[in-house]
Amino acid sequence: MSDTVMHLGSGKVRELYALDDERLLLVASDRISTFDVVLPTEIPDKGRVLTGLSAFWFAQTGALVPNHLLALREDGRSTECRRLEMLPIECVVRGYLAGSGWKDYLATGEVCGHRLPIGLLESQQLPEPIFTPATKAQTGHDENIDRAAGAALVGEGRYDEVERLSLELYRSVSERAAKLGIILADTKLEFGVDAEGRLVLADEAFTPDSSRFWPADEFRPGGPQPSFDKQFVRDYCESLGWDKTYPGPELPADVVDGTRTRYIDAFERLTGTEFGRYLADPGVALG
C-alpha cells in the first residue's frame, strides 16, 4: 500500500481505516470473543464469513433501507463503506426474550419501556418484535434505554425513523431466516446519517456477532438457547473453570474446527451459497 491509510479505531474483532474523506475500510479479523473477552486463538475464515453474510444482507435489504456498503474487496474480509455521522445509539430489535432483555424483564416486567405480558419464559417469542435501543458504552456494557432517553440522544423524528426501519429490517430478515429453519432471536443495528441528512444502515448487519441465530429444530423455551456459532467455545471455556477475565484460554484444534464449521454452516444456510464459491469470488454474496 503506497497510500497512507489512517487507522480510525478497533472494535474487539474489527478494524476501521479512513480511505479518504468519504470512504472507510472495515476489516473483519478472525478473532473471536466470548464472555466479552477476545481469545488468543483465531477461528480461520470467521472474518470472511461475517463480511460475506453482512454484504449478503445489505444486498437483500437495500430496497428497504440504503446502507453504507460501497465495495466488497477480493480478500472477502474487507469492505469499503460510506463515511457517515453515526447515531449515538445501538438499534436493537428483539423478537424473543434473551440476554439483557430477559434480565430486565425478570427484574421489572419491562424491556426498554415496553411492558410485556406476565409469565413469559426465557427465550420465548414475544407477542410482537420490539425496538429496544441501547447506549454505546465506550467501555463496559451497553445500557438499555427507553424511548425518552433514545429520543433525547437522537431527536424524536430520528428516533421514530430508526425504530420503524429497524423493525422493518428485523421482520424482513427474520421471515427469510425462518423459512431456512433459523430463528433470528434479536439483532443489533447501527445507523448513520449521510451528507444529505438521510439515514443509512452501517456497521455489520445480521451476522452471528450482531445477532442471536438459533436453529429452529433445537428451540426449547424455558432456558437459554445454545448459540449457533459459539457454543463449543463457551462449553470449552466453562469446562476449564476460567474466571472470564482477560486473558482468555487458547482453544484446542477440535474446538476451533467445530466452531469454524458452524460459522460456514450459518453462511451457507442463510445465503444459499457454498462458502468456497464466496472465497473464489466474494461478489457472489451480493447476488
Q: Which is nearer to ligand Q0N, 167 or 193 (CB)?
A: 193
Read off the C-alpha cell for 273. Answer: 451459497
Helix intervals (H) in 180-252: 231-240
Q: Which is nearer to ligand Q0N, 9 or 252 (CB)?
A: 9
Residue 20: CB minimum distance to ligand Q0N, A: 13
Binding site for ligand Q0N (CB under 6 A): 9-11, 14, 16, 24, 26, 68, 81-84, 86, 192, 202-203
Q: Which is nearer to ligand Q0N, 48 or 68 (CB)?
A: 68
Identify any residues that bridge with 90 across adjacent strands, giving them in sequence order. Answer: 134
Q: For the chain, how far is it from start to end, CA to CA, in angstroms?
A: 30
Helices then strands, counting H and E runs in the chain, come out as 7, 16
Residue 82: CB minimum distance to ligand Q0N, A: 6
Residue 59: CB minimum distance to ligand Q0N, A: 17
Read off the C-alpha cell for 182. Answer: 433459523
Nearest one of 223, 191, 227 to 208, comparing CA atoms = 227
Residue 115: CB minimum distance to ligand Q0N, A: 31
Q: How far does Cα 282 stand from its chain's mean position?
A: 20
Residue 60: CB minimum distance to ligand Q0N, A: 18
| Helix, strand, coil content of the chain in percent (nearest 5) | 35, 25, 40
Identify any residues that bridge with 80 across adjacent strands, giving them in sequence order. Answer: 25, 71
Residue 13: CB minimum distance to ligand Q0N, A: 8
Query: Per-residue b/e over 5-30, b at no fewer than 16 CB within 10 Å?
Result: eeeeeebebbebbbeeeeebbbbbbb
Read off the C-alpha cell for 131. Answer: 425496538
Measured CA to CA, the distance from residue 49 to residue 55 in angstroms comes to: 10
Residue nearest to ligand Q0N (CB): 11
Contact 201, 191 (CB under 8 A): yes
DSSP character at residue 144: B
Q: Which is nearer to ligand Q0N, 34 or 207 (CB)?
A: 207
Residue 83: CB minimum distance to ligand Q0N, A: 5
Read off the C-alpha cell for 17. Answer: 481505516
Q: Which is nearer to ligand Q0N, 83 or 158 (CB)?
A: 83
Residue 125: CB minimum distance to ligand Q0N, A: 29
Q: Which is nearer to ligand Q0N, 82 or 147 (CB)?
A: 82
Q: Which is nearer to ligand Q0N, 93 or 130 (CB)?
A: 93
Q: Which is nearer to ligand Q0N, 24 or 111 (CB)?
A: 24
